[in-house]
A and B are shown apart, each in its own frame.
Chain A
Amino acid sequence: MNGFQWKMGDRALALKPSGIRKFFDILESMPEAISLGIGEPDFVTPWPVRDMGIYSLEKGFTKYTPNAGLSELRTEVARYMRRHYGLSYDAQRQTVVTVGGSEGIDLMMRAVLDPDDEVLIPQPSFVCYGPIATLVGARPVYIETTAENDFRLTAAQLRGAITPKTRLLVLPFPNNPTGAIMEWADLEAIAEVLRETKIMVLSDEIYAELTYGTRHVSLAQIPGMYERTVVINGLSKSHAMTGWRMGYACGPDEVIQTMVKIHQYAIMSAPTTSQYAAVEALRNGDESIMAMREEYDTRRRFVIDRLRGMGLPCFEPLGAFYVFPDIRGTGLTSDAFCERLLREKKVATVPGEAFGDSGSGFVRCCYATSMRQLAEALDRIESFLENINK
């Protein structure tokens, strides 16, 4: 060592480290803990999809693909978007295959944002939007959704947050961590506000296939919104393919082509094996989606019922695979609640404030785990609550 001094970039330095870091460390020392803290399907990728990945390897399909993705896959993406959401995209010009939905978010922000632009981000929400916007030099502006509104974004909140500098709205629904969804009327009200502006929209619809009792509506389906919206989606949640890193983005020609330009410099192309598997998933996987959705739905009802039975207020989440009970009645902060629950009962959950200030007082529980594990975890939570109340 000759005392070389690294100098980190200011924007990277300014990023906050993950608020749940300490939970990782506790969990590491506790192999027998039940984790309701991981936002990922417990299902293994359906066998025909895995088989197609293996088959592509046997055939020796191990080269780069075109930058924007296999044209066969983009054709399936376009068909899928039409079949599931009634949205028409030209496969070759209006779709790009990305490394997970996350890369799509990164690409879109880099494609449209300049320093000092404001990005509206409803919270609680997934943790990546603010940091990515910050890295581009843009300024995240958070809109706190509330339990009273079922954690939906309201037109009034949106209108109140818009300034002349607002360039982009992130629409993270179905929502992680709350499980909230936006229905047609909710989106129509948002569209009404947007129409008077030049604000672009990043609609993160990675949980689109996981809605219960109602079909997902994309903002791009609302009249006048298609032209200003990039839809981010992927196969991680819908087809239980998190590890394959398969996402895609669809939107107007101009923005998608700019995203492809960045993607070709930064990533080249998404993993080839995963793309072949994704073709099979999108082409023949609808039944697997339905089967998994039904399974999640029964677990969802079971978990809500148990949590409410313990006296934890719990609004009914109609999307994703999370419940977001209100733990303020316990007198603990959500951080303390989660840490004690983990240490005392070995159940991992995530404090709501990890997803934004308005998440404080709430706890995210993921129910994408087996009924047996869920039942055991809920018994432990119940006994934890009894101990607190003593």
Chain B
Amino acid sequence: MTEILRLLAKDCALTHAQIAAMLGVTTGEVAAAVRDYEDKGVILGYKAVVDWEKIGIETVTALIDVKTTPQRGEGFDRVAERIYQYDEVESLYLMSGGYDLSVLITGRTMKEVALFVAEKLAPLEAVTGTATHFLLKKYKERGAVFADREEQQERMKLL
């Protein structure tokens, strides 16, 4: 039933009945499999990709490179946990390369984001340095393109 995951990962608005028809199984089987995936934490959430700007809502997103001191016996996990507990943190990744953690946060204003870095992130004991990069424009997110797609206007409609 991993096919179900493939379909939902692409479009989580599909109903169980639609998925069932697409895969040739019953709606009940889909519902049971989805519940099982949710229970086991395979499916972690269902979220829409929203272009807030289009309805006039301003948001500020920043990617913050964080350097840390790994801790004995826990590596980066302990400091990572202390960071992802904040609701402002949308994504958190451990990185290879010049820094350790990459934090993606969204706030209402640049000041709000800056304050979060200054007051919450930087003071953490294991954090030895941060570099904040503000997003200027979103082109594509999780497979969704933000620009309006232009359709070819003149085309055959029936053949």
Q: Are B11 and A371 interface neighbours, CB within 8 A?
A: yes
Q: Does A123 contact B (CB under 8 A)?
A: no
Q: Does B14 contact A (CB under 8 A)?
A: yes
Which residues on A sit within 8 Å (CB–CB) of B7? 298
Q: Does A344 contact B (CB under 8 A)?
A: no
Q: Are B24 and A375 interface neighbours, CB within 8 A?
A: no
Q: What separation, in Å, do the CA atoms of A71 and B11 have in the docked complex?
A: 42
Which residues on B sit within 8 Å (CB–CB) of A299? 22
Q: What separation, in Å, do the CA atoms of A20 and B24 have in the docked complex?
A: 34
The B136-159 residues at the A interface (CB cut-off 8 A) are 152, 156-159
Q: Does A280 contact B (CB under 8 A)?
A: no
Tell me what chain A mostly uses at the interface: helix, strand, loop, or mixed.
Answer: helix
Select which of A20, A301, A302 is within 8 A of B158 by beta carbon.
Answer: A20
The segment from A36-44, A134-142, A179-187 found at the interface with B is A36-44
Select which of B18, B23, B152 is within 8 A of A371 by beta carbon.
Answer: B18
Q: Are A37 and B157 interface neighbours, CB within 8 A?
A: yes
Q: What separation, in Å, do the CA atoms of A375 and B19 have in the docked complex?
A: 11
Q: Are B158 and A37 interface neighbours, CB within 8 A?
A: yes
Q: What separation, in Å, do the CA atoms of A243 and B158 have in the docked complex?
A: 15
Q: Does A147 contact B (CB under 8 A)?
A: no
Q: Does A24 contact B (CB under 8 A)?
A: yes
Q: Are B22 and A302 interface neighbours, CB within 8 A?
A: yes
Which residues on A sit within 8 Å (CB–CB) of B24? 301, 305
Q: Does A93 contact B (CB under 8 A)?
A: no
Please count the residue pairs between chain A and chain B whose beta carbons lie under 8 angstroms apart in the complex: 43
Q: Does B110 contact A (CB under 8 A)?
A: no
- A269-296 vs B, CB cutoff 8 Å, 1 = contact: the mask equals 0000000000000000000000000000
Q: Does A241 contact B (CB under 8 A)?
A: no
Q: Are B158 and A40 interface neighbours, CB within 8 A?
A: no
Q: Are A375 and B18 interface neighbours, CB within 8 A?
A: yes
Q: Does B9 contact A (CB under 8 A)?
A: no
> How many residues on B have C-beta within 8 angstroms of the other chain's C-beta atoms?
14
Which residues on B sit within 8 Å (CB–CB) of A38? 156-159
Q: Does A95 contact B (CB under 8 A)?
A: no
Q: What separation, in Å, do the CA atoms of A305 and B20 have in the docked complex?
A: 9
Q: What separation, in Å, do the CA atoms of A350 and B159 have in the docked complex?
A: 8
Q: What separation, in Å, do the CA atoms of A39 and B155 have in the docked complex?
A: 12
Within the complex, the shortest CB–CB distance from B23 to chain A, in Å, comes to 7
Q: Are A348 and B22 interface neighbours, CB within 8 A?
A: no
Q: What separation, in Å, do the CA atoms of A134 and B18 have in the docked complex?
A: 45
Q: Given A298-B23, A305-B21, A371-B14 in contact, is the A27-B159 Cβ separation under 8 Å? A: no
What are 13 inter-chain pairs, A to B, with CB distance below 8 A?
A27-B158, A28-B157, A37-B159, A38-B158, A38-B159, A39-B159, A40-B159, A298-B22, A301-B24, A302-B18, A305-B21, A306-B21, A371-B22
Taking Cβ atoms with an 8 Å cutoff, the residues of A that contact B are 20, 23-24, 27-28, 35, 37-40, 243, 298-299, 301-302, 305-306, 348, 350, 371, 375
Taking Cβ atoms with an 8 Å cutoff, the residues of B that contact A are 7, 11, 14, 18, 20-24, 152, 156-159
Given contacts A305-B21, A371-B14, 20 further A-B contacts (CB under 8 A): A23-B158, A27-B157, A35-B158, A37-B158, A38-B158, A40-B156, A298-B22, A301-B21, A301-B22, A301-B23, A302-B18, A302-B21, A302-B22, A305-B24, A306-B21, A348-B157, A348-B158, A350-B158, A371-B11, A375-B18
